[in-house]
Amino acid sequence: MINLLKNKIEKFTNIKIRFDLPKSKKIIQYDHMNSDFLKKILKKDINVVSRRKPEIYFWIFIKQIFFFDLSFSTYLKNYIKFTSAKIVITFIDNGLVYYTFKNKINNVHFISIQVGNRLKKAFPDKNSIPFENLKCDYIFTLNKYFIKEYKKIINSDYYVLGAFRNNFMKVNKTQFKKSNLFIGSSNLYKMRIGISHKLFSYLSKYFSDSNKKVYILLKSKTNTGQINEIKFFKKFFNNSNCVFLKSKRIENSYKIIDKFENIIFSNSTLGYEAIARKKKVAVFAVNKNKIQRNLFGWPKKDQKKNNFFSAKKLNYSEVKRVLDNVNNCSQINWEKKYYRNIRDLMYFDKDNYLLKKVIEDILKNSN
């Protein structure tokens, strides 16, 4: 009977069925993303409710079968009750379904942590949202400007945390003076925000003409993905002025960034994290093959103060101007004149002190 039921569920839903039981733990993470980092930062073991590769505990789910209630929210409610959890955390901050659970599940605190830079289109108009009365207990954002956008659609208390992983990584000293690192992006083959064939051609020309090398940090963490990225970039950069850097783990990406003096990016969250690490940055806010100035730092309004390190148009003279400015600017002058104007784009909360304090307070008051 059990095997028959298992086969039917897996056939129609492709869900992994588990016949063991989860251990009682105070914290549940909704999806696996960043779970290793979360455990290290909190120094606590946690349960993870898998969403990308769905799995369910049969003995928790069986009651729903008898009542013909197969909803995930009911399963999550029963899972929370069985494990005596007090907190549910997610890093999928743009998954709106998460914010429907608060109205359905009592006696637990819901926390959402923003991990990626969001563009305007990532925040839907309130009237277009397929859910009503979205709620959360605490939402942690990259900067104070995002709070206004979240508030339009989600009722919650808000805190500025910065980038969760970035906060966790030690900031090391620059090793390579007068060096330039370009942060790659995914979906290189599609003309999308952050991708521009013209920009790559202009960058290649600049480093060839100036007899300098540009280092490119590949986005992919897999061998196949990295090979494809290198093939793509070699259409624009030659071996004499370009060096590709691979990173199998996200921790290594931060170590690589710290080694270089100047960071070049378009729309990468890692680029904004470099700002928080006080790196000099050259910003080319491209949308397809055009500069779209309001992309940089959104939702904060574009400022003329950023002209020194941010391109106004997409042509070679403008690329050269920005890169010359950044390369010729001393670190002291950068921090005095420019960093102070953009440091609010990516807050830096060392070791995620604020997040840990909120969680500790919840657990303390829940006992």
Each of the 367 residues of the chain gets a pLDDT tens digit; together they read 456 555 655 554 678 888 999 999 999 999 988 999 999 999 999 999 988 777 888 888 988 887 788 888 999 999 999 999 999 999 999 999 999 999 999 999 999 999 999 988 888 888 888 888 999 999 999 999 999 999 999 999 999 999 999 999 999 999 999 999 999 776 665 556 778 899 999 999 999 999 999 999 999 888 998 999 999 999 999 878 899 999 988 999 999 999 999 999 998 999 999 999 999 999 999 988 899 999 999 999 988 999 999 999 999 999 999 999 999 999 999 999 999 999 999 999 999 999 999 999 999 998 6
Cα-Cα-Cα-Cα dihedral of 258, 248, 141, 351, to 10°?
-60
pTM: 0.92
Measured CA to CA, the distance from residue 42 to residue 259 in angstroms comes to 28
Determine if residue 288 is left, alpha or beta; phi over 0 gives left, psi from -120 to 50 gives alpha, anything else beta: left
Q: Which residues make up the CATH 3.40.50.2000 domain(s) of the chain?
A: 168-345
Q: Single out the residue of 114, 112, 7, 97 nearest to residue 51, CA to CA.
A: 97
Which CATH superfamily hosts domain 168-345?
A: Glycogen Phosphorylase B; (3.40.50.2000)
Cis-peptide, bond into residue 54, ω within 30° of zero: no
Q: Single out the residue of 247, 257, 264, 262 nearest to residue 171, CA to CA.
A: 257
- Cβ-proximal residues to 170 (8 Å cutoff; 6+ apart), any chain: none
Give, in order, the Cα–Cα distances in Å from 82 to each of 18, 59, 228, 235. Answer: 15, 10, 46, 56
pLDDT tens for each residue of 73-89:
999 999 999 999 999 99
- Cβ-proximal residues to 97 (8 Å cutoff; 6+ apart), any chain: 131
- State the pLDDT at residue 52: 75
Q: What one-character-per-residue DSSP string does 15-35 give?
A: -EEE-S-PPP-SEEEESSTTH
Q: What is the domain class of 2-162+350-366 according to CATH?
A: alpha beta
